[in-house]
Structure 1
Amino acid sequence: MNNEKYLVVVSGPSGSGKDTVVKRLMELHPEIEISVSATTRPMRPGEREGVDYYYLARDEFERRIAAGEILEYAQYCENYYGTPRAEVDRRIAAHKTVILVIEVVGAANIKRNYPGATTVFVRPPSYEELEQRLRGRGTECEEAIQKRLRRALEEMEYAVDYDEVVVNAQVDECAEEIYALIQKHQRQ
């Protein structure tokens, strides 16, 4: 339980900028580590195996679930996303601050398994900004964008279940706000 304070869960809807904020947080504070998640979704241009995600075939992901090797998982837009157990346990045992960037169902599962973890929800400044960010990616068709927008509205309702909520209007400010929250929770 005492080591759980080193575990930080960051969630937010697709397009909230949570990945960008966490990347900047780690640039500003290199002592913080990220747990690399596993997924069955295809690799996007510029992503790297073992850095952005572990890209697994659906049957391999399901085998790892059955073997208890996936700490939490969920399906999102027809793909599995999950956290390899070893990624988390190794780091918190060594008293390293480790961040999981996961969706809301996974975050609830982590909080049940690691009640001392800190959960942070990243909100976009507005729905309009969220839509602009999703469209600006240029990686998905209109149907996928609409699905992500609908899901984003559902996910934002879960913000009340998090220990902390931040608004990502400016990446550096949001990263520093999350860092201050991490420090606060680790002192408690």
Structure 2
Amino acid sequence: MIFAVVGPSGVGKDTLIAGALRVRPDLRLVRRVITRPTEAGGEAFDGVVEAEFARRKARGDFALDWQAHGLSYGIPKSELAGPGDVIFNGSRLALPAARAAFPDLRVILVTAPDAVLAARLAARGRETTTDIAARLSRAAYALPEGISAITIVNDAAVEDGVAALLAALQPVRA
């Protein structure tokens, strides 16, 4: 099964994913390729310049790619091979393409109140106050038409959010 965890910046997607990985060693995290310097922090990712990203895309290295916040993001095909469930930090806007690339995709939407998002964004120190305001204005974006998701409100203790994510990763019961 392939899981896309989506939601606005600052909602805690990477924190929840890391917590789930500690509990579920069978779960495999896709290491994204991003046109951002690796030392920018946050999740573990492969930072590349735009020209390298374009070369990899032209070679067909990505199962999925998208642009957001002035950056390019790619899900390498090589990260999907192997046994077990796969999870990646995705984009709400890229979900139609993700659904086309991964027909059995399950979407998990992580949300939090604006005040929580603003505090988290400020704490990570990567955005200006103008950037934070812009990210908050996009936080309420709805999922694209036809895309359904399990929703997690991540506004309490990290352990609560991780427990909710682990529950969402369970097989669908018929």
RMSD over equivalenced CA pairs, Å: 2.0
SS at match of 1:19: helix
Residue from 128, 138, 153 that aligns with 2:125: 138
Answering whether residue 113 of structure 2 is matched by residue 101 of structure 1, we say no
Cα separation, 1, equivalents of 2:53 and 2:41: 23
CA shift, 1:8, in A, is 0.9
Cα separation, 2, equivalents of 1:180 and 1:151: 27
Answering whether residue 153 of structure 2 is matched by residue 167 of structure 1, we say yes
Once the two structures are overlaid, the 10-residue window that deviates more, 131-140 or 56-65, is 131-140
CA shift, 1:153, in A, is 2.8
Answering whether residue 71 of structure 2 is matched by residue 85 of structure 1, we say no
Match of 1:67 in 2: 59
SS at match of 1:111: helix
CA shift, 1:181, in A, is 2.2
Q: Is the 8 A contact 1:39 1:53 kept in 2?
A: yes
Q: Is the 8 A contact 2:95 2:144 kept in 1?
A: no
Cα separation, 1, equivalents of 2:31 and 2:56: 15
CA shift, 1:159, in A, is 7.8
Match of 1:13 in 2: 8
Residue from 41, 54, 59 that aligns with 2:46: 54
For residues 157-187 of structure 1, the C-alpha deviation after alignment (integer angstroms, 9 at most, x for no partner) is 11883331111123222222222222233x5
Cα separation, 1, equivalents of 2:47 and 2:136: 24
Q: Which runs of 5+ in 2 are unaligned?
A: none
For residues 110-144 of structure 1, the C-alpha deviation after alignment (integer angstroms, 9 at most, x for no partner) is 212212121101011x1111111111222222222
More helix per residue: 1 or 2?
A: 1
Amino acid aligned to 2:151 = V
Q: Identity over the aligned pairs, expressed in percent?
A: 27
Q: Which runs of 5+ in 1 are unaligned?
A: 1-5
TM-score by length of 1: 0.82
CA shift, 1:72, in A, is 1.5
